[in-house]
Amino acid sequence: MQHVISVIVEDKPGVLARVSSMFARRDFNIHSLAVGPTEDAGRSRMTVVVDGIDTEQIIKQLYKLVHTIKVSEYAPGSAIEREVMLVRVNADAPRRAEILEAASAFGSTPVDVGASTITFEVTGEPGKLADFLELMKTYGIVNLVKSGRIAMGKDQKSAARKQKNGQGG
């Protein structure tokens, strides 16, 4: 089972190395890792997707690291999750229109067209990207690169807000 963990850290040299080595020491496989700035200067958010079962221990260990500020694990369905992927696909002239039409069903954008290939950019939930890849395999994938997954907790909709908006109570 995959777990999505968000870690807010001080933006200091070596923090990424300490966090990733802590996962490795505990025999957790990091499936995805993305790091970027937050709305607060001097802080970064690490989104780590790991395979494993004992995330409680991992969270405790993350808090022991010097530059860790906050750690959250997102329950399934409680976060907005996205990835970005670039996929180069074989696209000979007779099949280009077919490939472009198939790719458009996923909201993908062709970002480079070569003599015999098309490169698409696809953004969305991990499942959408997996489905896109499955479809493109029939044409022949030449090259592929994916970002790490990013995630943000969904807005907590309070009962008071729902009543105010006439959505029941």
How many other CB atoms sit within 10 Å of the CB of residue 122?
21
The pTM score is 0.82
CATH no. of 2-74: 3.30.70.260
Asked if the model's pLDDT at residue 149 lies above 60, the reply is yes
Token pair 């020491």: residue? 25
Q: Tens digit of pLDDT for each residue in 101-147? A: 999 999 999 999 999 999 999 999 999 999 999 999 999 999 999 99
CA gap 151, 163 in Å, rounded: 28
SS3 75: coil
Fold match between 2-74 and 80-151? yes
Separation in Å, CA 52 to CA 23, 55, 81, 117, 140: 10, 7, 19, 38, 33
Residues 11/14/16/19 CA torsion (nearest 10 deg): -110
Sign of CA dihedral 124, 128, 129, 133: negative
Q: Mean pLDDT in the chain?
A: 91
Does 3.30.70.1150 match the CATH number of domain 80-151?
yes
Residue 167 pLDDT: 54
The amino acid sitting at 14 is G
In the chain, what are the domain boundaries? 2-74, 80-151
- For residues 31 and 1, which has the higher predicted lDDT (pLDDT)? 31
